[in-house]
Amino acid sequence: MIRVLVVDDSGVYRMLLSKALKEYQDIEVVGAAVDGQEAVELIPKLKPDVITLDMNMPRMNGMETLAVLAVKYPDIQVIVVAAETRNDAERVVLVLEAGAFDMVLKPKATDATPMQTLREGLYPKLKAAAERKSGLKQQRTVPPRPATVATPGRVRGVFTPDIVAIGSSTGGPAALREVIAALPANFPVPVIVVQHMPKLFIESLASRLDRDCPVRCLVAQEQMKLEAGHVYFNPGEIHMDVVRAAGGGLTVRFNDGAPEHHCKPAVDVALRSLHRLAPTIRTLVVILTGMGADGAAGAKMLSDVHARVIAQDQQSSVVWGMPGQTVKLGAADEVLPLAEIGPAIACIGRGMA
């Protein structure tokens, strides 16, 4: 049974969230709090596994609450429930980078089925968050296994890419910060990133990383030419293809197709476009932490045409879904802990590994 504490200063949302989860027999809403201070006071009695957390609350807001939880109750997983506004987007990116498990959007006022929207968004993330909490307990009692090369002998000596493609989802904002911060300003090839997040949240993430990292980080635009030393984020709510530019080089084309793996943008869509350019365009694929299997099939397709693939290891992943499936398909040349992925990309990009 997954024990959930709902934290929101809005009585309407406390009711909606509680009702939305009542139909699941493996979830128990053990209580509700009007702000972070009350939530922290209730935790010893209610013993939740997961907290759904509003951002804007009196006395103790979402960011302040997460800071307290990180110190006092680090195993409790936090799913942020946020409105699709620019202010919430900026705050949510901060709390995701600080260690919140994931986020879901509050239904819009025009949503005809707000309860269903909440259920569909929350349930799989609650399940994954509870598994994460259980895994953290096991990590303290079982010695971690070292990262291993997924397919011994697959790495084919020096590999110099023309582009780097990174896919991520749950846990991605914090992972991307660590990876991208390791890339030098003169990184010799362009980087594309597909992160499962809504449009405003992607814009906020790219803006923060552009401010804090050596490389230039920005949200891609239609027909934007991809340049070395730049990291291009796939906008939310649309797929992205990489195609040859008319005058040479690579450029961006958007694709308004159906969601894949329940995701839009989807990592697999971008990777398939790079597969169409292979083998004359060589891709370094990096699959980071995330729920589900998005990116695994695309990584396998590219691996089969002599791309190089790095998957994040299980120990350092918030959820070992996307990288785990990449490993399971035999697509990964290397399985690395998060701390080693940025330096590895920097070396490979310069033809040094």
Determine the Cα–Cα distance for residues 302 and 92; give it in Å rounded to an integer.
33
Query: Same domain for 112 and 196?
Result: no
Q: Does the residue 226 lie in any domain?
A: yes
Confidence of residue 328 (pLDDT cuts 50, 70, 90): very high
Specify whether 89 is located in the same domain as 21. yes
Domain assignment present for residue 157? The answer is no
- Which three-class secondary structure state does DSSP give residue 119? helix
pLDDT at site 288: 98
* Omega of the bond leading into 190 within 30 degrees of 0 (cis): no
The answer to whether residue 69 sits within a structural domain is yes
Q: Any idea what the Cα angle at residue 174 is, between residues 265 and 322, rounded to 5°?
A: 50
Buried b (16+ CB within 10 A) or exposed e, 199-229: ebbbbbbbbbbbeebebbbebbeeebebebb
Q: Residue 238 and residue 255: Cα distance in Å, rounded?
A: 6
Q: pLDDT by residue (tens digit) across 66-96?
A: 999 999 999 999 999 999 999 899 999 999 9
Last residue of a domain, one of 109, 141, 173: 141
Model confidence at 246, pLDDT cuts 50, 70, 90, reads: confident
Question: Is the domain of 114 the same as that of 70?
Answer: yes
Please give the positions annotated as active site. Answer: 169, 196, 294
255 and 319, same structural domain?
A: yes
Tell me the pLDDT band of 206, cut-offs 50, 70 and 90.
very high
The model's pTM: 0.93
Q: Which of 45-54, 59-68, 219-228 has the lowest mean pLDDT?
A: 59-68
CATH code: domain of residue 82: 3.40.50.2300
Q: Are residues 194 and 114 in the same domain?
A: no
Assess whether 224 and 111 both reside in one domain: no
CA 246 to chain CA centroid, Å, is: 33
Euclidean distance between CA atoms 202 and 76, whole angstroms: 26
Residue 94's φ and ψ, nearest 5 degrees, are -60, -45
Pair (123, 242) in one structural domain: no
Q: What is the pLDDT of residue 168?
A: 98
In angstroms, the CA 290 to CA 321 distance is 6
User: Do 187 and 298 have their domain in common?
Assistant: yes
Of 316, 341, 94, the closest CA to residue 211 belongs to 94
Query: E strand or H helix at 233, and its extent?
Result: strand 230-233
Residue 152: which pLDDT band, with cuts at 50, 70 and 90? very low
Q: Residue 311 domain-assigned?
A: yes
In angstroms, the CA 27 to CA 156 distance is 48
Domain check: are 172 and 67 in the same one? Answer: no
Q: Which residues contact 328 (CB under 8 A, 6 or more apart)?
A: 296
Q: What is the structure's pLDDT at 142?
A: 54
Q: Does 127 share its domain with 171?
A: no
> Which tokens hold the place of 261?
């793996």
Domain that holds residue 241: 163-349
Specify whether the CB–CB gap between 121 and 84 falls below 8 A.
no
Kindly state the tokens that stand for 157.
Answer: 């000596």
Query: Would 149 be classed as within a structural domain?
Result: no
CATH of the domain at 257: 3.40.50.180
Do 107 and 172 sit in the same domain of this protein? Answer: no
Supply 344's token pair.
């590895």
Distance between CA 219 and CA 237 in Å, rounded?
Answer: 13
Place 200 in a pLDDT band, splitting at 50, 70 and 90.
Answer: very high
- Write down the pLDDT at residue 210: 98
Distance CA 201, CA 207 (A): 10
Count Cβ atoms below 10 Å from residue 3 Cβ, excluding itself: 18
Residues 137, 178, single domain; the answer is no
In a domain, 135, yes or no: yes
4-31 tens-digit pLDDT: 999 999 999 999 999 999 889 999 999 9
205 close to 93: Cβ distance less than 8 angstroms: yes
User: CA–CA separation, 309 vs 164, rounded Å?
Assistant: 10
**Which residues partner with 255 through β-bridges?**
239
Q: How does pLDDT run across 268-313, given as a tens digit for each residue? A: 999 999 999 999 999 999 999 999 999 999 999 999 999 999 999 9
Give the chain's count of helices (H) and strands (E).
11, 14
Domain boundary among 79, 108, 141: 141
Q: In three state form, how does the secondary structure of 166-208 look?
A: EEECCCHHHHHHHHHHCCCCCCCCCEEEEECCCHHHHHHHHHH
Say how far apart CA 160 and CA 318 lie, in whole Å: 29
User: Does a structural domain hold residue 151?
Assistant: no
Q: How many domains does the chain have?
A: 2
